[in-house]
Structure 1
């Protein structure tokens, strides 16, 4: 993949640098996934629902370690689009999410695009820096429960 790399100055604040990097990586993955019609947040939810499913929202949030309200907000377009369904028994307060056939199809379409993004970032950073980066992110994440 041929991609222009821009010269950016880092800030003194670690938090703002992480936020900028997060925004950049999200934009990069979204760009590569664009032809599938999914955003990276939607792709990751579908992928995790497939692996864990059927799964309730609390367990999904716990497994991927993201805020439950953020996940609920991101699930709505997936439900409206017919990619996931709630298979819980009527009257149940605990939703059980599962991919539909349409959800499985779009996940299959998006997977190679996600892999292309993943491979580019790994090549761009290099394996050693990639491993260091992931280890540092894990170390930072460990600051909170």
Structure 2
């Protein structure tokens, strides 16, 4: 079956789903999905941080961020508290979140290694750089 599409978005979404499935399989023993692990890692690097700012960093809209945070807060991995001005909410990685992230790290490293072995280390690095560049590119219709 040919997966080729002339649409950049569809092709990237297909690739993203394939890669996410790979990482999810590796992270399954931790109970974390790839998206959750990524949020914990990112929050560990930048937190405490406002929900809106974190959503911007993660290239997510505020509503999607709220839904994504629910299982992490429910499981005590992320704490949501008052922000500095009283109007905003602030996210903090909890000790349990840090432990879960550390437990997942070797599995994530294995997923990275397996991906690089199968796809190639240089193409994987090039792909990551292209994806980061795309994530930083303003594509709104008004731009």
For the aligned pair, the TM-score class normalised by the smaller chain equals 0.7 to 0.9
> Structure 1 residues 140 and 86 mapped into 2: Cα distance closer, same or farther (>3 Å)?
closer
TM-score, normalised with respect to structure 1:
0.82
Query: Which residue of 88, 94, 97 maps to 1:100?
Result: 94
Q: Quote the Cα distance in structure 2 between the aligned partners of 1:72 and 1:94.
A: 13
> Structure 1 residues 9 and 140 mapped into 2: Cα distance closer, same or farther (>3 Å)?
same
> Structure 1 residues 13 and 75 mapped into 2: Cα distance closer, same or farther (>3 Å)?
same
Structure 2: runs of 5 or more not aligned: none
Output one character per residue of 1:90-116: Cα deviation in whole Å (capped at 9) or x when no partner: x93311111222111111111111111
Equivalences for 1:1-145 in 2 at 5 Å? 9-88=3-82, 92-141=86-135, 142=137, 144=139
Give RMSD over aligned pairs. Answer: 2.2
How much does 1:41 deviate? 0.8
> Structure 1 residues 135 and 46 mapped into 2: Cα distance closer, same or farther (>3 Å)?
closer
Structure 1: runs of 5 or more not aligned: 1-6
1:3 paired residue number = none
How much does 1:53 deviate? 1.3
1:4 paired residue number = none
Q: Which moved more, 1:131-140 or 1:28-37?
A: 131-140
Higher share of residues assigned strand: 2
Q: Quote the Cα distance in structure 2 between the aligned partners of 1:29 and 1:126.
A: 16
> Structure 1 residues 138 and 49 mapped into 2: Cα distance closer, same or farther (>3 Å)?
closer
How much does 1:81 deviate? 0.7
